[in-house]
Amino acid sequence: MAVVNSLSGINIKSSQNRLLIKNGQVVNFDGIEEADVYIEDGIIKQVGRNLIIPGGTRTIDATRKLVMPGGIDPHTHFELEMMGAKTADDFYKGTRAAVAGGTTTVIDFVLPNKGQSLIEAYNNWREKADNKVCCDYGLHVGVTWWSPSVKKEMQQLVAEHGVNSFKVFMAYKDTWMLDDYELCQVFETCAELKALPQVHAENGHIIARNTEKLLAAGVTTPEGHELSRDEEVEAEAVNRACVIANQMNAPLYIVHMMSKSAVDALRNARLRQRRAIIGETLAATVGTDGMHYTNACFRHAAAHVLSPPLRPDPDTPEAIIKALAEDDLQLIGSDNCTFTEKDKEKGKDDFTKIPNGVNGVEDRMAILWQKAVNTGMMDPCRFVAVTSATAARVFNLWPAKGCVAVGSDADVVVWDPQLERTISAAAHHHATDFNIFEGTRVVGSPQYVIVNGRVCLDDGELRVAEGLGKFLPTPANCPYLYDGKPPLSPQGSPRYASESPQNSPARVTNGNTPTELHLVNKQLDGLSVSGCSTPTGRKMREPGQRNLQNSTFSISKEVEGLDTKTSVRVRNPPGGKSSGLW
């Protein structure tokens, strides 16, 4: 594996700033087209066929491949100190793992200690990240305490520091949790600033009381983690957060939604809410489940501990994928928050001391492809919507990020739907030796990943550059949340059919009917779920239809749609050695 560790190690000749991706199928959230993509100086300059290209341009042949926007992971924790430990993935290793998996933008969380200046914490995060990131990144800021000075700093962060989203916690009782009155004030301030409040939705008081009872009864193992905070504890907080946001006339983004009950609460709220509500789920939720908490091996069980927890209900992953496919959930992040085995051992005799967090930034895209697209539950356009386009739109990065279009940043993934591998800690790029998706076979992975015009995964060879990424200011007053007008294409005019006025999320006032209010939420990402099918026009699986996950059906062949001979390209490990066709 070739890794260039500093910018000084890169020698970019002018022709290397030019790249042509030929013969691929370009997938955006609203459609698929056969087109070549020409990139120069980090920007997509042309998309189409028969392009006129300067001599000496490097060409990547994307025949039978999908050319998609680089993934945007809206939820990471690199170099975070929490629960007496520090996450293993720093901004270098974390973004390197992201790029290896096809993600080219991450949004991390600044989490100040109670009483700490938000600006000071923000500056600390910038110092940790700026010289290490291998791809572009943005920052959300946690509001972990409340005072008039916090309100002032929120204003400053929006006006001067490129922050448009603030996370509050309804759990973590003695560290980050706010009470409902404080939530009202944060949400109200966000509405004033035209920023987006984000919420960790779990009832911290119930968790605290249940935990006392479990420990008193002698339950100390990781199983106690889920027992102390079951689905109802999550769903109650989701509903309460939605009510508070509605009362304060603020939009809302609910992070890491982990259960069917929570999604039910969200669905109901989206029917009645004045403003947009966005629900995020995680790769962990679709790729594994809470049965691991009963594993007799502490190391194994503790490695799966995160909050809210994975759910033991075996129907959860499929229900969450269905919700993502049908726009009851809007996007998927990773909540990448990796801790070493040694740190997880802090909770050997008391589950409440296990640092909360799992991996996911590297495998998020492949896991979702395998579980959702290969099973026929989601088409490639919706895959793009939930892995990049919707995050770009919600955090006001569109159309620079989240689409393959003229004028957009050249963050592009050439996705090989036939690339087969088995996820393993032995091959991943995280700074930990455990992977919650260990042993999962995936068919479909990135072959090339282009970050700001630079080929950083080159036919399976990872060639990231530390410090190559830059901080992305996220402006407030996002049209998708506040104006009711969809963002424009890079050319300055609506590019997509779905951006016609009747498909735009209209501004909603108190006088609107419930149906109109529902439409705001349904149309948030501007795409009807049936707006796109596979390149061969295959219809998506209807509810109740056969689950193709365990059958011989392969989306790879569907996408290829060209010949019927079995041709599976095997690469294992990702970013490592590459074998030929067989």
**Binding residues for ligand URP (CB under 6 A):** 77, 200, 256, 306-307, 335, 337, 356-357
CB 94, min distance to ligand URP, A:
13
Helices 148-160 and 118-129, axial angle in degrees (round to 10): 40
CB 169, min distance to ligand URP, A:
7
CA distance 458 to 102: 12
Query: Could you list the residues that contact Zn ion (CB under 5 A)?
Result: 200, 335
Structure-derived torsion over alpha carbons of residues 462, 402, 71, 286, reported in degrees to the nearest 10: -170
CB 377, min distance to Zn ion, A:
25
Q: Which residues contact 297 (CB under 8 A, 6 or more apart)?
A: none
Q: Which residues contact 558 (CB under 8 A, 6 or more apart)?
A: 534, 535, 536, 538
Other Cβ atoms closer than 10 A to 16? 15
* Residue (198 or 370) nearer to Zn ion, CB: 198
Q: Which residue is nearest to ligand URP (CB)?
A: 356
CB 166, min distance to ligand URP, A:
14
CA distance 450 to 436: 27
| Phi, psi of 535, deg, nearest 5 | -60, -25
CB 216, min distance to ligand URP, A:
24
Q: What would the DSSP string read from start to end of 374-432?
A: TTTSS-HHHHHIIIIIHHHHHTT-TTTSS--STTSB--EEEEEEEEEEE--TTT--SSS
CA distance 382 to 372: 10
Q: Which residue is nearest to Zn ion (CB)?
A: 200
- The token duo for 253 is 């983004």
CB 134, min distance to ligand URP, A:
22
Work out what residue 186 binds among ligand URP, Zn ion, none; the CB cut-off runs from 5 to 8 Å by kind.
Answer: none
* Residue (269 or 361) nearer to Zn ion, CB: 361
* Residue (136 or 335) nearer to ligand URP, CB: 335
Using CA atoms, how far residue 336 sits from 91, 289, 299, in Å, is 11, 16, 18
* Residue (354 or 464) nearer to ligand URP, CB: 354
Strands (DSSP E) contained in 423-555 are 441-451, 454-458, 461-462
User: What is the chain's alpha carbon radius of gyration, rounded to the nearest angstrom?
Assistant: 22
Strand partners, 9: none
CB 255, min distance to ligand URP, A:
6
Work out what residue 170 binds among Zn ion, ligand URP, none; the CB cut-off runs from 5 to 8 Å by kind.
Answer: none
* Residue (65 or 75) nearer to Zn ion, CB: 75
At 188 the three-state DSSP class reads: helix
* Residue (206 or 325) nearer to ligand URP, CB: 206
CB 261, min distance to Zn ion, A:
17
Work out what residue 454 binds among ligand URP, Zn ion, none; the CB cut-off runs from 5 to 8 Å by kind.
Answer: none
* Residue (76 or 447) nearer to ligand URP, CB: 76
CB 308, min distance to ligand URP, A:
8
CA distance 185 to 175: 19
* Residue (436 or 456) nearer to ligand URP, CB: 436
Q: What is the 3-state secondary structure (H, E, C) of 99-165?
A: HHCCEEEEEEEECCCCCCCHHHHHHHHHHHHCCCCCCEEEEEEECCCCCHHHHHHHHHHHHHCCCCE
Work out what residue 306 binds among ligand URP, Zn ion, none; the CB cut-off runs from 5 to 8 Å by kind.
Answer: ligand URP
Other Cβ atoms closer than 10 A to 475? 14
* DSSP classification of residue 291: G
CA distance 443 to 570: 9
Work out what residue 229 binds among Zn ion, ligand URP, none; the CB cut-off runs from 5 to 8 Å by kind.
Answer: none
Structure-derived torsion over alpha carbons of residues 232, 235, 236, 238, reported in degrees to the nearest 10: 160
* Residue (51 or 208) nearer to Zn ion, CB: 208
* Residue (18 or 75) nearer to ligand URP, CB: 75
Strand partners, 81: 86
CB 348, min distance to ligand URP, A:
18
CB 454, min distance to ligand URP, A:
30
* Residue (356 or 390) nearer to ligand URP, CB: 356
* Residue (336 or 418) nearer to ligand URP, CB: 336
CB 418, min distance to ligand URP, A:
34
Q: Of 498, 287, 285, which Cα lies nearest the Cα of 403? A: 498
